[in-house]
Structure 1
């Protein structure tokens, strides 16, 4: 009986995952990314104190966030409809969009590997990470109205 309950629970969970809302999922991921980038930006600007361990933790969280960015799952056909800022170019140029996400992830991984030990070191690695933002938002994100 216990195995049956477990099996039914697993099927229910798998079924609910199949009906996940990709628009809500990607918006949640980007909101989380924005908070992480915002926290690091405060340190870079001098609005928050530099703490090497805390910075590394935030960079690792940013890496985990970037690793969740899966174009096929988060931008399936038909998810261009609804309340989304995703530009049509995402579906017109999926390989370019994926390449932009891959470059961002690579830069975040480099920042984590560098483990900045000063604000100046953070500025360098964080600058490489944030240089990706406009490169993706300009072609692949609709302007807010």
Structure 2
């Protein structure tokens, strides 16, 4: 599928998903995190040499992360602090400005990675490292592990 058709298709999906977010924010944010997790897994497989580097997959991974980041804050409305087997830390609501800043950084870093369009593994590793650092930092500050 040509990139422009893919972008149009992705936009239509995102509009539909955004409308659904208001339905069940806990389930929706878990689905969003699974999308990011799948993108990170595909990226990690290339970085570890388990799969060959593919610039299209790299770009798609960054795009998925960026698309999720754009609406991620809306998945944490007041009243969704508990239930649904959530791992969201109360700190999200206690430090809303910090949480929003963390998500904004993730969005900006993933947008920068998209713009860089890494065409080889070394460039991809550098971009992915910066983007992935956001995941760890946010999980450390705003996630409660159920393990």
| 1:115 match | 117
Bigger radius of gyration: 1
For structure 1, which segment, 56-65 or 41-50, has the greater mean C-alpha deviation from structure 2 after superposition? 56-65
| Count of residue pairs brought into register by the alignment | 128
* Offset from partner CA, 1:93-127 (integer Å, 9 cap, x none): 00000000000111100110000011000000000
Offset of residue 17 of structure 1: 5.1
Residues 24-83 of structure 1: per-residue CA shift (max 9 Å, x gap) = 0100000111001110111111111112223222322222222231x2x31111111112
TM-score, scaled to structure 1? 0.82
Aligned equivalents of 1:57 and 1:36: distance in 2? 8
The residue that corresponds to 2:80 in the other structure is: 79
Distance 1:118 1:86, change over 3 A: same
Aligned to 2:129: 127
C-alpha separation between the residues in 2 aligned to 1:139 and 1:61? Answer: 22
1:67 maps to what in 2?
Answer: 70
> What is the TM-score with the length of structure 2 in the denominator?
0.81
CA separation in 2, counterparts of 1:79 and 1:141?
Answer: 14
Gaps of at least 5 residues in structure 2 are 1-18
Aligned equivalents of 1:30, 1:17: Cα separation in 2: 15
Structure 1 segments, 4+ long, off by >6 Å, are none
Distance 1:23 1:113 in 2: 31
Query: What runs of 5+ residues in structure 1 fail to find an aligned partner?
Result: 1-15
SS in structure 1 of the partner of residue 61 of structure 2: helix
**Distance in 2 separating the partners of 1:139 and 1:38:** 22
Instruction: Report the equivalent of 1:54.
Output: 57
* Greater displacement, 121-130 / 57-66: 57-66
The yes-or-no answer on 1:24 pairing with 2:27 is yes
Whole-angstrom distance in 2 between the partners of 1:63 and 1:110 = 10
Question: What is residue 89 of structure 1 aligned with on the other side?
Answer: 91
CA RMSD of aligned residues (A): 1.7
